[in-house]
Every structure is written in C-alpha cells, then in structure tokens.
Structure 1
Amino acid sequence: MKTKNTIIASLLVFNFLHFTTSNAQERPLSPAQNKQLQPFTLKDYQTFKKEVKPLIQEMGLKKIVGLGEGTHGTAEFYTVRYYITRMLIEDYGFNHVAFENDLTEVWQFNQQLSKTNDLNALLKKYFLSLWQNEETKQLFQWIISYNASHKKQVTVNGIDFPAQQPDVDMLIALLDAANITSFSAPLEVLKKSAFMQDEAWSGMNKKDAKTDWNLLAKHCRNEYITADSLETAFKALNIDSSLKNNLLLAIGNLKQGCEPFFREIPEGARDSIMAYNTARIVKDGNDKVVIWAHNAHLGKTGIYDNVVGGTGGYILKLFPGNYFAFGTGTALGTFGGTTDARAVNNSPIAPYPLENPITGSWEELLSSAKTSDFYFDTDKFNPTQELKPLRFIGFGTKSGASSYDKTNLRDLFDAFIFLNQTHAPTPLKDNPVARH
C-alpha cells in the first residue's frame, strides 16, 4: 500500500485532462491507413489464430510480451489476450503469465491451481475483482489442462504489491515448510503492521472507516526496518535454494509495499517496481513472460506527463530489444467498473455504458474504418507520429473526457487491436473446473 498522498496522486491521473465531447466526426482514415488494418474475428480460437499469425510471429521473438487493456473491464480484451497467450505458450515456448495483481497472492493462487476443485473460490480469494470473470477464467482452465499434459509447466505470477498480509502468509508457509521457528518475534511485528495497512487500504471504500495515518506510518516504518533485517537473515540461511528465493521474493514484495512510509519514493515508482518484479520471473534463458495489465502500464512511455504508467519502458531498459507492447482499444458498448475508491478482491463490479469517443481521438478515427475489428502495426499506421487523445479507463466507472491523454500510439505500443463495440465481462458462473 502507498502513503495516502501517493495513493491519491496516483489515482488522480484519470482526472487531469479535459476535452470537449462531441459526436461530430473528424476526417476518416486515409486509404494508406485503411491498408494497414488487419481484420480478425473472435468467433473461435482457430480462426483467430490464422488471422493474427503474422502478429504472433513477431511477438514470439521476444522474451517478454505485454498485453494491455484499454479498460479494466472489457470481455473482448480478456478473450483476445487468452487467445494470444495460448498461442505464445503453445507455439513459442512462453511459460509465465504475469498479472497486474499482488505478487504473493498470485504465488499462493499458483500453488493451488492444479489441485483446486473450485476455481471460482480461488479467483475470489487471490485476485482483484476486475479479474474475476468467465473470460479470464477460461485462461486458467486451459492452463490447468495444459500443465496436466506437458512437462514444461506454465506458471501464473503477480507483479504488483497492493496487499501486505499475503506477504506475511507466504513467509509463514515457507518457514513452516523449512521447519524454521526462529523468526516468530519479527513475524509478529510484520503481522500487526500488515493488518493495519490492508485495513486502511480497504477502509477507503467505507464511508465510516477512520485511519490514524500517523500511527500507521509509525508502524509501517518499523515494518520496513524489520523486513530489511529479515531479508539479510534469509540470505544467510543454509536451505534449499528454491525455498530461499521464495522467502526473498515475499520479503521483497512486503518491503515494496511499506517503503513509501519509510522514505520518499519518486513518481512512477510503482511501474518501475512492476518491471523489476517481471525481471525476477526471468531466471534463465528458457523463461518467457506474457503480462496482463492496463495499457497505461504496459506502454513504453508513461501518460499524463509520466505521472503514471510506463512499466513497459522500464522493462525495455532491463531487456533491450526484447519486449513487445500490445495495446487494445474500443469505442462503444459497455465496460465493467466499480464505485470503490480502491480496487480490492471484493470490489463490486457492474456494467457501465461507454461514452461516445471525443472529437479528434484515436477512438473516433478508428471507428471510421471500413471494418469493425482489426489490428495494426503502430509504426506503419502512424508514420507521421501524429498525436491524438487515447482513452485510458481504469477500474472506475467514468469513460468520458477526463479519461483521455494525448498520445502517439507508436510511442506506447508496437501493435494495437481495436474492436469498435465491446461488452462488460461475464460474472463468474458456478460451474466446476474442467478436468482433462
């Protein structure tokens, strides 16, 4: 969790810019631009696979592929990414799927994925509610099936750090597995502070919740110092290397969450941390990672004057020439969002109508295409490096003028997929896990 000011500043990015909404159409796509559009359909996996083969071939050459979403709640974006992820795993040896979700919560999810008889319950326990839908569940059902019949396993990872208690839970589980009982006192310190942080975070969704921020800051500074000391102790342990690495992973993620209380961190720190956490997944030459996160994060540059976003740019610095950024966009329909101030695992998600694209936006221009669903190479599509507003809808309910930032698609993404009309995701249904 971040300090109160950092949290508020991060979320205000979706309210910075203000454009005038209008139904008036600007000039349509040029013949040269129309020529760059590659149509596709989502009616079934095999058809989609044939239609996007050149795109996937380019992605497959990279070690890390970022699959973005223009909203945190569009069914078709989840399906597109499931199909692409499956292709990259089956045909190009990708073996990690990383999410914009708490690192240690997803670690626990992955530990239980192959054994679960209730995937819905597992998703609700360990994933933010924006991932709790039938479209995303398709991916996990497929991974269960794939891992059951392949030696090279696909691992599900998290790269974010919003929750603290899962870090402590992971530490306790790992120390129990190693029969290590000598860290009970510092673990109690971490437990208390983690509980306070998570209560303050989720409490922001409750009108009557009150947080003593000064007391919280005091406890979290102590938590950071304690965690730092534990990290040093863990490095000295003579235990299985895999177990040690996981201990360091958990304590490192906990430190990421409480560091803002210990010292001032720069703007954009969350994106650099998510890039660092992605890099930690790549342990050897055989590891290849697909990331599911918001367009704003997976773009190669930040947005809103670099106040937020740009995880992709940090990844490029860590893996020069080895990252592919893929964005998604839509114009009309519905999307899933929550009225909660902070996205948590039990935030209620409901469908909301997408407002019409604003005048002069990329969405308005792409809506004038001769085909409704297509992808394109951003470099070839925008050789003049034109700047236009692009919509970035987070987990909230607004999709109007304040959700845009003026961008050059080429600066953000290597390729972009556009679906003119889309829908809010399908809520989880009570059906059993498919076994193969």
Structure 2
Amino acid sequence: MKTFKLLSLGCFLFFISNVFSQTTSPKKFNLDFNQYDTERLLPKDWFQWGDQPISTESIEESNYVGKIITSKKGNFGCITYAIPAGFEGDSITLSGYMKIENINKKQSAGLLIRLNGANNKLLGFNNMADENINGTIDWTKYSITIPYSKETDYIYVGGILNGNTGTAWFDDFEITIDGVSIEKLNIIKKSSLKDNIETVIQSLEKSSKPLDLTDNKTLNNSLQPLIDKLGNKRIIAIGEDTHGTSEYYELRLAITKELILEKGFNTIVLENPYDGIEILTNKIDEEPLESLMRKHLFSIYQTKEMKSFLDWYKLKNDNNSIKFKGCDDSYWALEALLEKEFSSIRNEKLSTLLKTLKKAIKQSKKSNFKNEIKNNIAVYKAIIEMECYLDENNLHTPNSKELLFNGKSSYINYKRLSEEKTIRSRDEIMADRIAYLAKDPNAKIIVWAHNAHISNTVIIDNEIGLMGRDLKNKFKNNYISVGLSSLSGTYSYINNRFINSDHKYNDKLLQKKVELTGENSWEKVFNQFSNRPFFTDFNEMRKHINSDLFGDLKLIGYSKETYRDYYELPTLTMFDFLIFLNTTNATSSIAKE
C-alpha cells in the first residue's frame, strides 16, 4: 500500500490558502473519499496531519476509504480535508463511518472537526478523544457537533488516530450546518469594514455622543445620556480591550458610581477569583488595602486605579449595602471561608464535614497528572455532602449557599471529565456565577470584565464570549454590554499567561505601547470618525447598517500585545454600547519603585 511524502502543517496551510483563494464557490466535496488522485495516490484533496502515515484502500470497485496505519515512532495521524468557509448557522456536525483494529486501550481514534478563523485562530475543535474509542470495532457510524462561528475561514474535518498502535479506516463523511448538508449551502462572502467605512461613519454620526474627560464633573455630565439608557436594566457589563488601561478604570468607576447612587445598583462583580474578593471584603476594615490587593487580586489589578475604586467602595459601603464579588474560579480559600461562616455553630457532624473537605482540598493541591481528577472529584463530593447536610438540617444561610455554589462551580469540570461529559468553559462558569447573584430579585449588577468576556456573541475559540452570550440569552434586554476601546497609547501587562494557576499574585506589572493595530481596524475607523472620545449606541447603529461587517479589533488580555490579539470580528454585534478613546495610558502599579 502506497503513501505520499509528508508535508509540514505550515507548508500545507500556505498551499491550501493559495488553492482556496482561487476557488470561491466549490460545488462538490470529496467527503466520501471516492475521487482518487493518481499522482498522490490518495483520495483527492485529502492530506496528512501528524506523523503517522495516511493512505487509501479500495474496498470494492470505485469505493475508496481513508486509512491510517501506525508506526511505533509516531504520535498521531490524521487524514484531513479542508473547506473554505463562509456559511451561516449555529452548529456544525460531522458524521462518518470508522473501523478500527488493534488500538491500545490507552490510545484512541475518532472523527475530527476544527474551525479556523483569520490568521489560523482556533474557533472550534473536537477530536472525540474524550470518547476513548479503541480496541477492534467494525464499521460504525459516529458523529460530532460543535457550535459554528460565522468568523470561520476554514473548516477542517478528518479521521484521527491518537497513538502508535493499530489501524483505522474512514468512509462516507458528511458535514451539515443546522441540519443542512454543506453540499447544498452557498458560501456567503463576508462584508468587510474597509469596503463600508463611509457608511459606518455616517451611522456613527447618527448614533454617537461626545464624552468630556477634562474632570469628574464634565465626565459625569457627558456620561448622563448613557446612564439614563442603562439605569432600568438588571446587569450592566463594562468591558476593556486591555486589562491595563488607566482611563478604562476611570470610566468604569464613574459609570459604577452613577448607577449605584442614581439608579439603585447594588452589586459589583470583578473578573477575579471569587474567594479572593470574599476575603478582601471581609478584611477591608482590618488590613491596609494595598496588602489585601497583593494577596487577593490578580497582579494585573494591583494598581493605583483599582485602589481608587476600593477606596471609594470602602467609604461608601459602611452600611454593607453594596456587594463586591468575584466571578472567576476559586481554589484557594473555600475551606477558610466556610470555617468563618460556621464558626458560631456547635455541630459535631458539620465539624466532621469541614475536616473532610479541608483534607480533600489539601490532597488536591498535591495532585499530579495521574491523580488530579480523582483528588478533585473528592473535593466536589465533599462539597455536595456538606450541602445536603445543611439543607436537611435547615442550617444553610444565604452566604453558605453562595460559598458552596461557587465551590461546586470551581470543581464541576473534574466531575464532568469523570463522566466523559464536555467540560464547561471558564466563560460559561463565570456566567453561572453572575446569574446566581441575579437570582436575588433585588440585585442590580455591574460587571467589570474584559471585552472578550462581556460580548453578546461568541467570538473566540467557541469559548471566549460565552459569558456574555449566556447572560444575553438568559436575561435578554436586561443584560447590557458596554465595550471600551482605544486606538493608541500605552498599556500594562504581566508575563504570566496562567494567572489562576496558583495563589501567588506577585507578577511584575510592565508597560508597553500599542503597536500592532492593522489598517482594516475598527479602532482606526472610530478615530477617523472623531478625534475626541465618544460613546455610541450599537443597537441604534444596527438599525441603519449591516451589522455583519468584519474588521480587526484589539483584544489584549493580561499579556504583551501580539498579532494574535487582533481578531477579525463583526464588532457591531458584540456590544450594546461602545465607548471609544483615541489615546489611553497604562495603569500604575501600587508596588514601590
């Protein structure tokens, strides 16, 4: 059986991009493997990913199948097919037949689907690894479904064998979007921002109002029209396109003050570990703010701007009428918070349950790769056991319910992994935590989080944006997203990309200029419209203009700016309102120089 010479993935991507740039409306896809390339000795347009060789086999006249035969030196092989995207829909399904033989039980085979956006950004992926398909199985039909993103540039499908044992065959693939075969769908060309700049500017003229940041009084006066539009909603999410921009904190504090003092909002939620914020608020009158910030806030928030907010919060919250909460995962202080909550209760069973939970958490912190899931499931079970006991004996308080809910949320994915269920993303869990707070009918909530999280639509990796999407779906027009954006200036960042991997928030705050904004960017169009700050009503704009205009948008996280922080996005669909500043400055660290 013959195979073709392996090409590197990078070479393939260059090759396939050039091929597809000349083919804008393919009418037939070789998903049944039956069109045969006599030069490459492979099914036409199929190619190899990985280091295990791919080939084809004729099982009857004119009926070819894809095949992967492993070698001991390889790690995985994937027989892959690429389709230029441009479709509309909410979900994409790949179905097909697979036969496997002698695959080790620690390895697996399956179907694969991958969605790539601009610059090969991953928008969606599933390779059935969680289903652990191995051994010897005759021809069986399988299918996988993932959310479909309209930002998809290429759809990759394939048959994959993860490992170095056995053989896998694949046949008769089919792709559907929202249940309709891709063979019947027409490719829809994206509308580009650069082709519609004049129209966008005209729409901005109808939908925008200037902002004056000269001083607090002028800022508050110019924000009043926006405050009036937000005041009767239940959840206002205020974003940022970097976590380290000084003016964004100034704007968010100004909006937050007005919503609390004028419109009855009473809860502030920060994109920070839940338990860290709980301890900070518990000790805010006992310990210096800077000390609390260093212990319990992500390093990127250890700034003078955040301290200004906390100074105001401490002053205004003397009667505990304003709640301050975190919405990120909490692994570090749950047991201490529960001990404090139940310190006045003398109950032997409850004390035993607390000891069991503390022991499980201590063990989980010592976990290695082999026992991580087992140890963290033990924590989850201990939380459930405590929750049941408190329910049965009427010992629950509103605070204990909230603490245990957030504990369960932090450990839920270990349970889902053990049950071979799809894990819930960080964004989905943050949405759950905010929605939990909104169960209180009197709660009016202000969220401080990144633009990528508050977006009304899913925008990155079928993960980032799920928080805003889920909250918009649940609360409809009672959830409002306000994006913050700028063209140029400086920003702060940290070098640690895994900010919640431990409880040591001691990263140095660094500063840098924004340098990589592209020509087809929303920021440049906003700057062309006005050389002064403004806010615009995207809901109003969408009445007059195609909302699916794609242009580059800056979304820098905690780290240093790279080209991968610019996403080709239909920005008008992401937010209800957007505040634009032409130039901004980096936040200032509270650390002593």
Q: Is TM (by shorter chain) over 0.5?
A: yes
Counterpart of 2:520?
360
> Match for 2:121: what amino acid?
L
Counterpart of 1:122?
292
Task: State percent identity of aligned pairs.
Answer: 26
More helix by share: 1
Counterpart of 2:210?
39
Following superposition, the deviation at residue 117 of structure 1 comes to 5.0
More strand by share: 2
Counterpart of 2:322?
154
Counterpart of 1:402?
564
By relative contact order (CA 8 Å, sep 6+), the higher-ranking structure is: 1
From 454, 458, 462, give the equivalent of 1:298: 454
> Match for 2:411: what amino acid?
C
CA separation in 2, counterparts of 1:165 and 1:394? 23
Question: Does the 8 A contact of 2:204 with 2:536 survive in 1?
Answer: no
Question: Does the 8 A contact of 1:79 with 1:136 survive in 2?
Answer: no
Summarize the alignment of residues 354-393 of structure 1 with structure 2, pairs less than 5 Å apart: 354-381=514-541, 383-385=545-547, 386-393=549-556
CA separation in 1, counterparts of 2:445 and 2:277? 15
Counterpart of 2:400?
247
Between 52-61 and 345-354, the greater mean CA deviation after superposition: 345-354
**Alpha-carbon displacement from aligned partner over 1:89-109 (angstroms, at most 9, x marks no partner):** 011010111111112221222
Counterpart of 2:486?
330
Question: Does the 8 A contact of 1:338 with 1:349 survive in 2?
Answer: yes
Matched, 1:17 2:173: no
Whose radius of gyration is greater, 1 or 2? 2
**Alpha-carbon displacement from aligned partner over 1:3-59 (angstroms, at most 9, x marks no partner):** xxxxxxxxx9999539xxxxxx98576344345332213232221111121111111
Summarize the alignment of residues 29-428 of structure 1 with structure 2, pairs less than 5 Å apart: 30-113=201-284, 115-148=285-318, 153-161=321-329, 163-195=330-362, 212-239=368-395, 244-264=397-417, 266=422, 269-344=425-500, 345-381=505-541, 383-385=545-547, 386-398=549-561, 400-428=562-590
When the two structures are aligned, how many residues end up with a matched partner?
395
> Match for 2:242: what amino acid?
T
CA separation in 2, counterparts of 1:70 and 1:353? 14
Residue 240 of structure 2: SS of its match in structure 1?
A: coil
CA separation in 2, counterparts of 1:68 and 1:359? 23
CA separation in 1, counterparts of 2:286 and 2:118? 37
| Structure 1 residue ranges without an equivalent (≥5) | 1-11, 19-24, 200-210, 431-436
Residue 515 of structure 2: SS of its match in structure 1?
A: coil
Summarize the Cα distance change of 1:250–1:420 in structure 2 as closer, same or farther, 3 Å threshold.
same
CA separation in 1, counterparts of 2:519 and 2:359? 51
Q: Stretches of 4+ moved more than 4 A in 1?
A: 12-16, 25-29, 195-199
Summarize the Cα distance change of 1:221–1:109 in structure 2 as closer, same or farther, 3 Å threshold.
same
CA separation in 1, counterparts of 2:519 and 2:365? 41
Residue 164 of structure 1: SS of its match in structure 2?
A: coil
CA separation in 2, counterparts of 1:177 and 1:330? 51
**Alpha-carbon displacement from aligned partner over 1:40-89 (angstroms, at most 9, x marks no partner):** 13232221111121111111110110011111111111111000000100
CA separation in 2, counterparts of 1:143 and 1:223? 34
Following superposition, the deviation at residue 184 of structure 1 comes to 4.2
CA separation in 1, counterparts of 2:120 and 2:286? 43
**Alpha-carbon displacement from aligned partner over 1:333-380 (angstroms, at most 9, x marks no partner):** 111111113115223221122123112111222222332321111133
Following superposition, the deviation at residue 190 of structure 1 comes to 3.2
Counterpart of 1:5?
none
> Match for 2:323: what amino acid?
T
Counterpart of 2:101?
none
Residue 476 of structure 2: SS of its match in structure 1?
A: coil
CA separation in 1, counterparts of 2:481 and 2:201? 25
Between 212-221 and 189-198, the greater mean CA deviation after superposition: 189-198
Summarize the Cα distance change of 1:304–1:35 in structure 2 as closer, same or farther, 3 Å threshold.
same
| Structure 2 residue ranges without an equivalent (≥5) | 1-115, 123-193
Residue 30 of structure 1: SS of its match in structure 2?
A: helix
> Match for 2:296: what amino acid?
Y
Residue 212 of structure 1: SS of its match in structure 2?
A: coil
